Structure 1
Amino acid sequence: MAKNKTQFRKRKIPMRQDIVSGQMLPKKDLLRIVKADDQLLHLDPSGKVNGHGAYISVDVTLAKKAKTEKILDAVFEMPVPNDFYDQLIDWVDHQQARKELFSHEQIIKAKNS
């Protein structure tokens, strides 16, 4: 039987492993941290910066756990300053708050429709 052209292919969702929890999660729900050629770490929300990357979930508790257990030090095999961990926690906290705010606004719009 010939396939109907109106049928859509199921798209593959790229999955990556969270370095703190070890869970496989959709790539879009994670933040990429990159060790670039200059041997510095950078936050890479776009996921396009060249270099060795690792993924962490956008969850404040996991970001704080990464800081207390110095997980990035082990992953990138270099000492990571506490300032970078603080920057990571701030970014994750901001994104988590944004996500909650916009999901709340979408619920309100859906109720009013």
Structure 2
Amino acid sequence: MNKVRKVPLRKCVGCQEMKPKRELVRVVHTPEGEVRVDPTGKQNGRGAYLCPQPSCLQTAQKRRSLERMLKTSIPDQVYQALAEKMREVAGGA
């Protein structure tokens, strides 16, 4: 009899849906103070998860939920860089 592995679930801060961790993009606030996309999901720092869709990033930006989860303020240019990185990560997956 094979063991059934438990699939870790995370909540998207944009649409508030629970999804498997592998389907989401992790955004991390590093101890150095940077906010960036974590394609491996293993970087040190406080993380938040988003669906790889621009609409979820826009919703998170509008509601400031990403800032609340990461406990830091995020400038607009970082949101633009996150949108580009998320497109790269989503396209490469």
Say whether the fold is shared (TM-score over 0.5): yes
Query: Relative contact order (C-alpha < 8 Å, sep 6+): which is higher?
Result: 2
Contact 2:15–2:59 (CA<8 Å) still a contact in 1? no
The structure in which a higher percent of residues are helix is: 1
Matched, 1:17 2:11: yes
TM-fit CA distance, 1:68:
2.8
- The alpha-carbon distance between structure 1 residues 43 and 96, as it changes in their structure 2 partners (threshold 3 A), is closer
Is this contact kept in 2: 1:35–1:41, CA < 8 A? yes
Q: Does 1:51 align with 2:51?
A: no
Q: 1:67 corresponds to which residue?
A: 61
> 1:98: how far off?
5.2
| Native 8 Å contact 1:66 1:72 kept in 2 | yes
Gaps of 5+ in 1: 1-6, 100-113
1:1-113 pair list within 5 angstroms: 7-97=1-91
For the 8 Å contact 2:39–2:89, the answer to whether it is kept is: no
Q: If you compute each CA radius of gyration, which structure gives the higher value, 1 or 2?
A: 1
Count how many residue pairs are aligned between Structure 1 and Structure 2.
93
Instruction: Give 1:73 shift.
Output: 2.0
When the two structures are superposed, what TM-score results if normalisation uses the length of structure 2? Answer: 0.84
User: What is the TM-score with the length of structure 1 in the denominator?
Assistant: 0.71
Q: CA deviation at 1:90?
A: 1.7
CA distance in 1 between partners of 2:41 and 2:87 (Å): 19
Gaps in structure 2 of 5+ consecutive residues: none
